[in-house]
Chains A and B, each alone.
Chain A
Amino acid sequence: MNAIVISGIWGVVMMFSGLFVKKDSAIRGIAVLGMIILLAANILEMRDGSFFPFDTRNMLSFDSFSLLFNAVAFACALMFFLLSGRDMRTVGDSPADYYALLFFVLCGVSIVSSFNTLLMLFLGIEIISIPLYVLTGADKRNLKGNEASLKYLLMGAFSTGLMLMGITLVYGAKGSFDMDVIGAGNAEITPLMSAGLLLLMFSMAFKVSAAPFHFWTPDVYDGAPTVITSFMATIVKAAGFIAFIRLFQGCFASLQGQWQLIAAIIAASTLVIGNVTALFQQSVKRMLAYSSISQAGFMMFAIVSLNSMAVEGLLYYALAYCMATIGAFAILARMNDYTFDGYNGMGKHHPFLAATNVVFMLSLAGIPATAGFMGKFYMLSAAINNGQVFWLVVLGVVCAAISVYYYFRVIQAMYFKDGPRQEIEAGSGFKVLLAVLSAAIILLGIFPQSLIDLLYYFF
């Protein structure tokens, strides 16, 4: 509860701070302060220190899982604010407003991580989506951004419609929005229920950009300002998955046999489409957009297998993926040239940035001793343990091998090709943060136990 209330309040604070504070650095400071307070309040709540003991009438349930995900999401958001805060100025004239919208998104994130009725799920998803429609088009003079924003709005509204219909049908079948009621006694599947289930699955697949509902993703990620893309591709996507797994574990776990194959097909097509299309991209930004689709395919493994390993693995994967992607985007946002050729010779001219970027790429590719590997390990283990979807596991590793090609293209450009020196604005603070981020990725890859201990501590 702490997180929902404080992020909402801080969103308003940020909005008004824009009126009184003109200096960019001050606005950034307020945002970072808010983020720290949010994170601290959430950690306090994990220790039973709730400031707002409302009775939510079981509409929200703040279990350890949701709080832990909040902590992960807020930590990533804090990292994102610190790393990319300066680039917020490149988006447009009113950074305070953008921060306000980001805080509202985080409010939505903390709702979808703890919903217990379908109404709250709907509310949370909408609170996440609407500020994002605005942020995508935040650069008002950029035609591509405007197009992306409109496209996102139309497609998003459509999928929200699907979700509402799904919720209605499920309500028709069970007479309640409460997940506990819906989840209980599902021995037989009724037509109403199956239609509702499918509509919910498709709309969630849309939100996490799983194929064949991914078509909006590359255009929106490419068109949106790079800073915003970084946020959308990481924290928002992870929140989508948490909502997805929460919904399916809470409502439809007993029907797993009925929908598992469909989810597996979605996972498989996401993997194939994401990876194969990413191979042909010339722009790193678009490549990262497709890579986010292919990573979503791996996260779908958790939905498909839906066992205890999958749930904790999804958290781990989300963290690993967010850290690496935020880092990669932070460097990308400082580049003048977003094509692969723009990275040529970076190893020579900016050895430090290049070295950290290597860590991010290796982690995304899932090489051992990075957090990305442990994430993939968890996903593969979960699916193998499930036992029903062995073909998906094999397809997954083939796609993981394909993904090496485009992630390593960045490494090749940086180290093995020569290019002219590009001025990249990177202060020492930025470098320290990148170093911290890459060290964290490597530490989590070698000693995942520390995080796993934390997970078990709260479960």
Chain B
Amino acid sequence: MIPVLLIAIPLLSGIVSFFLKREGVARIWALLSSLATLTTSVLGLTCFSTKESLYAHAEWLPLLGSSFSVGLDGMGQVLGLLTALSFSVIFIATYRSVYTKAHNFFALMLLSQAGLMGVFVAFDALLFYFFWELALIPVYFLCSQWGGERRIQVTIKFFIYTFIGSLLMLIGLIYVHFKTPDQSFALESFYNVVLTNSEQSWLFWLLFIAFAIKMPVFPFHTWQPDTYEQSNTAVTMVLSGIMVKMGIFGLLRWLAPVLPIATWAWGDTISTLCVIGMIYASLVAMKQDDLKRLIAYSSIVHVGLMCLAIFATNEMAIQGAIIQMFNHGVNIIGLWIVVELIERQFGTRKISELGGLAQKAPAMAVLLVILSLANVALPITNSFVGEFLMFSGVFNSTVSHYNIIFAVLALVTIILSAVYTLNMIQRVFLGNTNTLTERAKDIFVNEKLVLWALVAIIIFLGVYPKPLLEVSQSTVDAILTRMISKHP
């Protein structure tokens, strides 16, 4: 019941929102809907965590071997919570932003939430594909309608890029479906499929490209900085906070356990791409003057690390990747909120035009510093736990021949990330004020509330990550058992 509600609440409230003509009403409606989803998600973690309430199954397309089968395992819980939490945070933090045709904006946001939830709870390949695409359509409209000047061209590039990836994935899914013993799209059947090594080898790429474009992994990342820069910041939060996790999630649920041999065989190739991408993105981030582009490139680095960890295929690394998905979502949404605040106040995101904000807006400065430190994974922040697990996982990987080199090179990018993040703080918040920043005001209460809440989560999970680790443990075990059972 819980997973069905997680899809149904945003879907139905999103459709209703199209008909709410008054801006204020639509705003409150969206906020209430997202809070309801968050409550449902939390209830699924606590009171209603029985098997009956977490799984649901209904007939859909029996003749094609597909059914409406949804459920929340550990990883689904983590990402469902992230999605539910993020939208509430986004709606509260951007409560003061003004949108033209606000009812459409909120409707599309809620519909994209429904699509994302569907991706994370689907236990059927065709259903997964359905939601995978459906999450994209509202985002296409959101990015094209609200955003920067070049938004239309940039968004169509983004859309075609991801669409081509997902169609390749569709080919792969259909092929695996024909190879399953009962010609079914169910996740269990996919896990039981027997494929030859050469089949796995090319199927791997069909699926991986789709996920790699979403994440994005070098060299499929070119859509990302442009799209993040041109989109409305609320949409950017959805894209970078949640949508990129679809790729990582896809690797863990639909790729590694289904095609384990190919995952091991191609592991070093993918890891090399990840490391190249991480170093490249770090170097580019150092040169950025636009805050949004800087965070966009830093996101490529973090996601690259998660992908690297998954291909180390051991318990620590995957555990780290799952909880880091959550942590990265929380951290980056916090960063975007600050960017949004700065942009709304000064009308610019150029680092070179800002300076001395700490004098005028101390609360904002403190919060940004904490968020940035979490972004560079300093101890006692949540990212530290995730990245520590991932790094030790990569170091101890038994499947890779070059794991030490990968780990060392990846560590370098953490140092680089400290360089550009601290540099950004220094140039935006410290130093002297200029004519633009002289009139700066501190943040409003709703933004302060949200940011402090995020900081509380960051520090709580940094000090006591056990609850999150416990939730994801079962999934990690399940993935690794499945993979090892197919070890030749």
Contacts and interface: CB of A to CB of B under 8 A. Distances in A.
Interface of A: 362, 367-369, 373, 377, 380-381, 384-385, 393-394, 397-398, 400-402, 404-405, 408, 412, 415-417, 448-449, 452-453, 456
Contacts of B134: 368-369
Contact of B61 (A368, A401, A415, A449): A449
A401 B137 CA distance: 14
A264 to B, nearest CB: 16
List the 3 closest pairs (A to B, CB-CB), nearest first.
A397-B167, A401-B164, A368-B133
A412 B160 contact: no
Contacts, number: 70
Interface string B57-71: 000111110000000
B152 interface: yes
Which of B151, B159, B167, B168: most chain A Cβ within 10 A? B167
B170 interface: yes
Contact of A397 (B61, B137, B156, B171): B171
A416 B140 CA distance: 11
B55 interface: no
B129 A412 contact: no
Contacts of A373: 133
Given A368-B133, A404-B159, A452-B63, A397 B178 contact: no
B10 to A, nearest CB: 15
Contact of B175 (A384, A412, A417, A448): A384
B178 A384 contact: yes
B164 A397 contact: yes
B353 to A, nearest CB: 29
24 contacts: A368-B129, A368-B134, A369-B134, A380-B170, A380-B174, A381-B178, A384-B171, A384-B174, A384-B178, A394-B171, A397-B167, A397-B171, A398-B164, A401-B167, A404-B159, A408-B159, A412-B144, A412-B156, A415-B144, A415-B145, A416-B144, A449-B61, A452-B61, A456-B63
B131 to A, nearest CB: 8
A401 B174 contact: no
Contact of B60 (A384, A393, A417, A449): A449
Interface in B152-177: 152, 156, 159-160, 163-164, 167-168, 170-171, 174-175
A114 B116 CA distance: 46
B178 A394 contact: no
A448 B164 CA distance: 24
A404 B137 contact: no
B388 interface: no
B66 to A, nearest CB: 10
Contacts of A404: 156, 159-160, 163
A412 B164 contact: no
A128 to B, nearest CB: 32
B174 A397 contact: no
A364 to B, nearest CB: 14
The majority secondary structure among interface residues of chain A is helix
Interface string B98-138: 00000000000000000000000000000001100110010
A362 B137 contact: yes
Most chain A CB atoms below 10 A, which of B61, B64, B141, B170: B170
A178 to B, nearest CB: 33
Contacts of B152: 412, 416-417
Given A398-B164, A416-B145, A416-B152, A367 B171 contact: no
Contacts of B168: 394, 397
Given A377-B174, A397-B164, 10 more contacts: A368-B130, A368-B134, A373-B133, A381-B178, A393-B171, A405-B156, A408-B140, A412-B144, A452-B61, A453-B63
Contacts of A417: 152
B171 to A, nearest CB: 6
A448 B66 CA distance: 12
Interface in B82-101: none
A401 B168 CA distance: 10
B178 A385 contact: yes
Contacts of A367: 133, 137
Contacts of B129: 368
Interface residues of B, number: 28
Interface of B: 60-64, 129-130, 133-134, 137, 140-141, 144-145, 151-152, 156, 159-160, 163-164, 167-168, 170-171, 174-175, 178
B61 A448 contact: yes
A191 B391 CA distance: 68
Contact of A405 (B61, B63, B160): B160
Contact of A380 (B62, B141, B171): B171
B210 to A, nearest CB: 11
Contacts of A393: 171
A367 B144 CA distance: 17
Contact of A400 (B140, B167, B174): B167
B130 A369 contact: yes
A147 B137 CA distance: 41
Contacts of B140: 408
A456 B174 CA distance: 21
B200 to A, nearest CB: 15
A415 B141 contact: yes
Nearest to A381: B174
Contacts of A415: 141, 144-145
Nearest to B167: A397
Contacts of A412: 144, 152, 156
Contacts of B144: 412, 415-416
Contacts of B156: 404-405, 408, 412
A404 B166 CA distance: 13
Contacts of A398: 164, 167
A164 to B, nearest CB: 40
A377 B159 contact: no
Contacts of A381: 174, 178
A368 B141 CA distance: 16
Contacts of A400: 163, 167
B437 to A, nearest CB: 33
B220 to A, nearest CB: 14
B160 A401 contact: yes
A453 to B, nearest CB: 8
Contact of A377 (B60, B62, B137, B170): B170
Contacts of A416: 144-145, 151-152
A256 to B, nearest CB: 19
Contact of A401 (B130, B163, B171, B178): B163
A415 B130 CA distance: 24
Contacts of B175: 384
B209 to A, nearest CB: 11
A271 to B, nearest CB: 13
A285 B62 CA distance: 39
A373 B145 CA distance: 25
Nearest to B130: A368
Nearest to B60: A449
B163 to A, nearest CB: 5
A281 B27 CA distance: 40
A365 to B, nearest CB: 8
A416 B146 CA distance: 9
Contacts of B61: 448-449, 452
B163 A449 contact: no
Contacts of A456: 63
Contacts of A394: 168, 171
Contacts of A397: 164, 167-168, 170-171
A380 B174 CA distance: 8
B160 to A, nearest CB: 5
A3 to B, nearest CB: 28
Nearest to A393: B171
A401 B170 CA distance: 13
